Amino acid sequence: MIVTARRAAGFCLLLLLALLGNATWVQAYRADTYDHMSGNRRPQIVRYQQPRGDILVADAPITGSPHTAESFDLAYGRSYTDGPLYAPVTGYASQLYGTSLLEGVEDDILAGTDPRLGAWPVITAVTRRRAAAGNVATTILPAAQQAAFNGLASTGNKGAVVALDPTTGAILALVSTPSYDPGAVAGANKGARAAWAALDGDPDRPMLNRALRETYPPGSTFKVVTAAAALASGTVADPDQPTTTPDPYPLPETHTLLGNEADGCRNASLRYALTVSCNTVFAKLGVDMGAEVMRRQATAFGFDDPKLRVPVAVTPSVFPKSPDRPQTALSSIGQFDTRATPLQMAMVAAGIANDGEVMRPYLVERLTRHDGSTVRGTERQSLARAVPAPVARRLQRMMQDVVTTGTGGNARIDGAIVGGKTGTAQHGEHNRAVPYAWFIAYAKPSPDAKPTVAVAVVVEDGAADRADITGGGLAAPIAKAVMTATLSR
């Protein structure tokens, strides 16, 4: 009898140990797998059992978490103030379709699952206990954001605007049009499903963040990068001396002649070539320097960086990997396979304005707990030194000439120092599509002041007359409005 009891007890002990082992395995190693299994609604139910944290602009919330009667399980929904205006910043938090942009990358803070939100982070991480949701404070300047949004909307075309503080890298405006209201897809009802289907099937792709996730041929705005390479490499010692450039310029090893829209480009100086945007001078400079020099200069401004985060992931801008000589000529004027996001071209303008130092762009100023105490702040970081300071200052003066006497006159601001560069990027089969209009610029209140803002604007083709699609005509006024709003703060 005693032996039988002992055997039964031992067997029970083994069962208990097996149970504990399996529970530990599930809790410690398999929990994440079960959390993400299709059909498991528990994570969604837990996520929306408490109000979600807010995304802040100028310390004011642009999101909300109203209690909803739509579903007993999903107690709190998501709402957005000025949803289309800030959608390229916030993204969406949907009970059906997940999260995107800041709602996605800062989800742990907003959902209250980040261990740093608790009083004892290590214990919170082990117990996986949810804290009160935290908030995400952005760097966006409302006046600049509104000016960029209104400017793009006035064109009636698709496009994007990015404005940066050149000295810190803080993103002051981030706009993409057409936009959408993320509140329309936040719920779990039929209306949310219909809205998602409409947005997903829209050929204009309103949920695409064109400022961060779309690359365009940068056109003549890329000539600023080529000019930087020419000055930094010593290929051009004096920007006011004539170059030896024919007009038209025969692309090497081809019978193709590259011409200009502007007059006076034959043997033009680098300064004049940038002011009136001579294709021939910059194409020849690119060939003279070679593809590798051009690549290094582009990389120094941030091109070809697959790891750039703001903290939202950014699609890499690219300079062609192994272009031949005629391709190098076209790449050096922002054509062929050179592609750039609006953020990247804003970084180019910001780097020049900041005496050659490119700051790492960022969109989140700080993460906070529910009581407002800081979880993590963002410190400014240098991304790269693109060009030496003397070279950057020469480029600043050349870009100012573009605005005062060249193609960028529509960006002139009374009482402020403005430097810029226009761009009209050809694309499509045989370059017959309506071109993209570009403008990059920087501004500061006085000659000796630090730069206040750098901005990049791109306006896609659309219903506008082809003759009106120019960087100076369409994009420069938008940049001016954004810079004016920033200088007035």
Residues taking part in catalysis: 220
**Would you give the DSSP letter of residue 243?**
P
Rounded Cα distance between 227 and 401, Å, is 14
Q: State the number of CA atoms in the 13 A half-sphere of 391 facing the CB.
A: 22
If DSSP codes are grouped into helix, strand and coil, which group holds residue 414? coil
Return all residues near 336 (Cβ < 8 A) that are at least 6 apart. Answer: 320, 323, 327, 330
Count of beta carbons in the 10 Å neighbourhood of residue 164: 32
If DSSP codes are grouped into helix, strand and coil, which group holds residue 443? strand
**Would you give the DSSP letter of residue 222?**
G
DSSP result, 351-409: HHHTTTEEEPPBSEEEEE-TTS-EEEE----EEEE-S-HHHHHHHHHHHHHHHHTSTTG
In this structure, the dihedral spanned by the alpha carbons of residues 196, 199, 202 and 204, taken in order and rounded to 10 degrees, is -160
Contact 342, 458 (CB under 8 A): yes
If DSSP codes are grouped into helix, strand and coil, which group holds residue 16? helix
Return all residues near 424 (Cβ < 8 A) that are at least 6 apart. Answer: 219, 220, 435, 436, 437, 438, 469, 470, 471
Report the candidate in 427, 428, 426, 424 with the shortest Cα–Cα distance to residue 438: 424
Rounded Cα distance between 176 and 298, Å, is 24
Return all residues near 120 (Cβ < 8 A) that are at least 6 apart. Answer: none
Report the candidate in 111, 89, 86 with the shortest Cα–Cα distance to residue 98: 111
Q: Taking phi first (over 0 means left), then psi (-120 to 50 degrees means alpha), and beta for anything else, what does residue 356 get?
A: left
Residue 33, judged by CB atoms within 10 A of its CB (0-12, 13-18, 19+), counts as exposed
In this structure, the dihedral spanned by the alpha carbons of residues 218, 219, 222 and 223, taken in order and rounded to 10 degrees, is -170
